[in-house]
Amino acid sequence: MGGNQSVPKVTKQDRAILDLKLQRDKVKQYQKKIQAVLEREHEIAKQQLAAGNKGRALTTLRQRKYQESLLAKTDGQLENLEKLVSTIEFSMIEVSVLHGLQQGNEVLKQIHKEMNIESVEKLLEETQEAREYQREIDEMLANNLTSEDEEAVQLELQALQTEAVRFVLSLDSHL
Amino acid sequence: MSLSPHTTPSGFLLPSIHAAPPFFTLQPKAETQALVTEQWTRLILSYARHRRLFYLRVEDAEPPGSDWDEVLRNDRINRRLPPSHLSYILDDMVSKNKAMYEPVKQTRSVLLFWRLPEEWAEVLHDWASSTAQLNTILTFFEIVEPPVPSQLSGIPDTLLRRAISILTKTNRAQVIAVSDGEGVRFLAGNVSK
């Protein structure tokens, strides 16, 4: 989409659908015509009867009956045509759905290609290595402290602890 | 005599000028006539839109009983638009692209442009896209007599064809012809042009 899209090609299917729809329109127009004739004949029969021409009225009514049967027949044809048109249109939608599924599948495949098990394992391995490396660094840093430093650290810890205890006691005495 | 607007049985509001007797006669002075013609043009087009009338014929001004009686006659002041005056107005409307002679090569009947073919083209395309019928092949009959009535119901073939040909120029429609007739496919097209 977008850009300067050109007009799509007219395929054989397109022509077939158009043909079908034109046929359908013709049937519809034919029905309209018969409907008009039916109404007119009804009128004529009435007039003939009023004028006392019973025979004529009867003939007209027979004609009318015949036209009615034609109308019923065209109804059936129309239904068939309509069904065919909608079946084709629905199939076209199905085709486009299939196309969509195919494309989605293609994308999924590509993503999977980039994310195969080997590379995941490799990645996990690398993470593991990195973690070990980090631990080594930690150890090395810890080992680097001299015993005096270590002692000072311990003393500081003790001081903090006693201070904390004193603080708690002072709170108690206030209560 | 009072000059006042009047509502017709079909619910159309006639302007007060419609109750002025001189309005119905061709004016000798060109400037006056130009004003009168302009008023008539506006009146004719808005009435046509109101009643969805597409054609106006000179003969509509003759015996009563046409679709145009409410506008072309005013029995309250006993006036009617003479055919010669109507013919003059139609000629002016055609020259100003407010109507076209239909069929061509005669001057007794016009197709009214209460929407210009360009505007009809937009209405047509909007209809196709709002009813999800883009990229679908449609017959002309299906557009003019859709199962669900639309703004396009009953639009004359000439107008429809003009509208479609405007859309084809911008790749927003494609006409498909088969041995039995024609169809059209509307396309989304690009909005910018």
- ipTM, two decimals, is 0.72
Give yes or no for residue A3 having a pLDDT over 80.
Answer: no
Domain coordinates of chain A in residue numbers?
12-117, 121-174
Q: Are B123 and B151 in contact (CB under 8 A)?
A: yes
DSSP chain A: --SSPPPPP--HHHHHHHHHHHHHHHHHHHHHHHHHHHHHHHHHHHHHHHTT-HHHHHHHHHHHHHHHHHHHHHHHHHHHHHHHHHHHHHHHHHHHHHHHHHHHHHHHHHHHHHT-HHHHHHHHHHHHHHHHHHHHHHHHHHHHS-HHHHHHHHHHHHHHHHHHHHHHHHHHHH-
Residue whose structure tokens are 């859709």: B146
Tell me, what's the pLDDT at B191? 54
* Cβ separation B171–A7 shorter than 8 A: yes
* Cβ separation B174–A29 shorter than 8 A: no
Give yes or no for residue B53 having a pLDDT over 90.
Answer: yes
* Cβ separation B189–A5 shorter than 8 A: yes
Percent of chain A beyond pLDDT 70? 96
Q: Is B171 on the interface with A (CB under 8 A)?
A: yes
The candidate with the shortest Cα–Cα distance to A82, out of A31, A28, A35, A32, is: A28
List domains and CATH numbers for chain B: 6-112 (1.10.10.570), 117-186 (1.10.10.10)
For an interface test with B, the pick among A1, A18, A24, A35 (most B C-beta atoms closer than 10 Å) comes out as A18
Give yes or no for residue A1 having a pLDDT over 50.
Answer: no
Please list the residues that pair with B178 across neighbouring strands: B181
Tell me, what's the pLDDT at B93? 95
Nearest CB among B135, B183, B189 relative to A18 is that of B183
Nearest CB among A2, A5, A19 relative to B180 is that of A19
Give yes or no for residue A160 having a pLDDT over 90.
Answer: yes
A18 three-class SS:
helix
Nearest CB among A2, A14, A15 relative to B190 is that of A2
CA distance linking residue B38 with residue B44, whole number of Å: 10
User: Which CATH code for domain A12-117?
Assistant: 1.10.287.1060
Buried/exposed code over A150-169 (b: 16+ C-beta within 10 A; e: otherwise): eeeeeeeeeeeeeeeeeeee
- pTM, two decimal places: 0.68
